[in-house]
Amino acid sequence: MGILVEPMTVSDLADVLDDHARFWGERDMRFLHLTALVQEFGETCLTARRSVGQIDGYLIGFTTPRGVGYIHAAAVRDTARLGGVAGTLYRAFARAAAAQGATTAKAITSVANSGSVGFHRRLGFDAERAEDYDGRGKPMMVMTRPLPWN
């Protein structure tokens, strides 16, 4: 069976938060998981499953008025990593964002998160360090790539 990507529901979000450690390990990233984002941007908040029931990965994103498909949070379950789930989610998001008029995809991560930067670069994103991005003295890595994505 392939990877099935569907719009995320509020119930899916609750399931992800119940299994938070399976997606994020020791990092507490629950603050990123806003129900309002799922409610308001359902077409660009996505889940991925390789079998019925269990969520193997998810992406919470939205399209901005400036035509940016912003990836707010994305994660893959520990037992599903390296199985193509993340790339499948990103491509599905890119199609959905482009359908809403986005011309660029964008994601942000900490400067220390070399795994995320490497993943995005493998998907064709440019990555640049932006000083003070998250406030004074708080640089972030800003990753962008043009849409549509073939």
What CATH number does the domain containing 26 carry? 3.40.630.30
CB neighbour class for 120 (10 Å; exposed up to 12, middle 13-18, buried from 19): buried
Q: Quote the pLDDT of residue 1.
A: 57
Give the chain's domain count: 1
Cβ distance 77 to 23 under 8 Å? Answer: yes
Mean pLDDT by 10 residues, the chain (150 residues): 90 95 93 94 94 89 97 93 90 96 97 94 96 95 92
Structural domain harbouring 41: 4-146
Radius of gyration (Cα) for the chain, nearest Å? 15
Residue partners of 78: CB distance under 8 A and separation at least 6: 22, 23, 25
